[in-house]
């Protein structure tokens, strides 16, 4: 392999093609172009062209690494239009690491655009948000507090009536309307707080608050902690924790993602917890892959592996330490939309379903397309709104066929996407979307 690599190495003058070659060329050669990935790829299903398929993107990355095509002209758009759901990895018969290929391509594209100053205004704002807002929990909490006040004073109703946001960004206006109603920030758990277990203590867990969850969905965090306490866990809201780095990694900002990973490893090591628990599929997937992210740094590799071994989704621990003390029966049919990163990256499929089926009175109906992406994709639905809505509208047809009154998911982005799906859909029965934790908390009387 070394001889082949040396023979095909790109001309040294093109540093970006060379970096792409070094990062992922061997991985692109693993793809046998069989097409098993096509039926599970939401963008291929929507667009029907090879450049919107996993195997097509892999071939483009390979050709860019060989300097047969231009990175910016031919590779940027196909890579940018990928949702990153990684369903193709699960379907692939030869285990092509598509996620690594995708992130490597994004890293090289971002570096080249930065060097050539080709980043559009939208991209510069995105980078500013990722570097100056998300890595700072206090700033995210301040945003959440302001949004609570914005809702409490009913300014949101005035904004929606005047359509101010719609004039700036139609897609942002759609999501502003479906953001959940925030509870008072005084109910938010404080960083460093330790919540004792109810009854016999079974484990000490370090709780990962997340950026969006802590900023705008802290009620779900509070309910998560209460459920863990009911299940016998002592919960510590870990001090000095940071953003998981998922959005940074997805946007090709791997240097920033590695820095955040190291800070989180240090913070959670100090917690003395038996497990590190999160309630967001996207965050959990990133935490779950810290060992791969830091694989080329010997001083961090083992610490990252230990971190990953302790990282758990909340559904896993609630099943492990359950059953939960349910206090009320549920009314109506429940269906479940998988978080792509919970299912495809972490491999967690049954625990959420097991919990939903255990709720008294609940009738669980499996969603036939639960394994397919809902079109959220982190901030994909903001950057590619029309494409995202095409995927969502198809998803809602399947949801309506279940006659469900409750759609359940396990990731903040998916939850907002489902909220928007409900908003866009006429249903014969009352329909709402909830996080798994919200459903369990309601059934437990919390």
* Residue pLDDT, tens place only, 304-332: 999 999 999 999 999 999 999 999 999 99
Beta partners for 409?
Answer: 435
The CA-to-CA distance between both ends of the chain, in Å, stands at 59
Q: What is the DSSP string of 105-138?
A: HHHHHHHHHHHTT---HHHHHHHHHHHHTTT-HH
In the structure encoding, which two tokens stand for residue 90, read together? 């699960």
Burial pattern 91-105, b for ≥16 Cβ within 10 A else e, equals bbeeebbbbebbbbb
What is the tens place of the pLDDT at every residue in 242-278?
999 998 888 778 899 999 999 999 999 999 999 999 9
What is the tens place of the pLDDT at every residue in 354-409?
999 999 999 999 999 999 999 998 878 888 899 999 999 999 999 999 999 999 99
**Surface-to-core class of residue 24, CB atoms within 10 Å of its CB (0-12 exposed, 13-18 middle, 19+ buried):** buried
Asked if residues 260 and 242 have their Cβ atoms less than 8 Å apart, the reply is yes
How crowded is the C-beta side of 271, counted as CA atoms within 13 Å?
31
Q: Which of 7-21, 116-130, 189-203, 421-435 has the highest mean pLDDT?
A: 189-203
């Amino acid at each position: 392999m070394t001889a082949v690599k040396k023979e095909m190495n790109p001309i040294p003058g093109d540093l970006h093609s060379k970096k792409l070659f070094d990062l992922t060329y061997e991985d692109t050669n693993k793809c046998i172009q069989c097409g098993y990935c096509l039926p599970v790829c939401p963008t291929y299903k929507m667009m029907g062209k090879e450049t919107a398929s996993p195997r097509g993107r892999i071939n483009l990355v390979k050709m860019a690494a060989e300097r047969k095509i231009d990175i910016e002209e031919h590779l940027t758009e196909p890579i940018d239009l990928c949702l990153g759901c990684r369903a193709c990895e699960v379907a692939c018969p030869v285990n092509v690491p598509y996620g690594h290929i995708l992130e490597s391509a994004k890293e090289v594209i971002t570096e080249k655009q930065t060097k050539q100053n080709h980043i559009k205004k939208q991209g510069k704002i995105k980078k500013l948000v990722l570097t100056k807002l998300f890595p700072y929990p206090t700033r995210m909490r301040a945003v959440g507090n302001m949004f609570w006040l914005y809702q409490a004073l009913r300014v949101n109703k005035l904004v929606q009536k005047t359509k101010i946001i719609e004039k700036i960004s139609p897609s942002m206006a759609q999501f502003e309307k479906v953001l959940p109603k925030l509870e008072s920030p005084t109910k938010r758990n404080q960083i460093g707080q330790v919540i004792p277990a109810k009854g016999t203590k079974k484990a000490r867990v370090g709780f990962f608050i997340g950026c969006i969850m802590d900023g705008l969905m802290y009620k779900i965090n509070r309910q998560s902690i209460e459920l863990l306490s009911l299940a016998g866990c002592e919960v510590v809201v870990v001090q000095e924790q940071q953003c998981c780095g998922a959005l940074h990694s997805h946007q090709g900002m791997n240097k920033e993602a590695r820095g955040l990973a190291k800070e989180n490893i240090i913070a959670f090591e100090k917690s003395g917890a038996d497990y590190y628990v999160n309630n967001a599929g996207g965050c959990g997937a990133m935490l779950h892959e810290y060992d791969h992210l830091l694989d080329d740094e010997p001083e961090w590799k083992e610490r990252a592996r230990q971190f990953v071994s302790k990282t758990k989704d909340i559904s896993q621990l609630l099943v492990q330490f359950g059953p939960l003390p349910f206090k009320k029966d549920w009314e109506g049919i429940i269906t479940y939309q998988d978080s792509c990163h919970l299912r495809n990256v972490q491999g967690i499929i049954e625990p959420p379903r097991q919990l939903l089926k255990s709720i008294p009175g609940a009738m669980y109906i499996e969603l036939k397309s639960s394994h397919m992406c809902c079109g959220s994709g982190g901030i994909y639905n903001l950057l590619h709104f029309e494409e995202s809505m095409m995927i969502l509208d198809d998803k809602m047809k399947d949801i309506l066929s279940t006659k469900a009154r409750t759609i359940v998911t396990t990731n903040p982005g998916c939850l907002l996407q489902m909220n928007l799906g409900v908003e866009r859909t006429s249903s014969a029965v009352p329909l709402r979307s909830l996080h798994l934790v919200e459903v369990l908390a309601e059934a437990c009387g919390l």
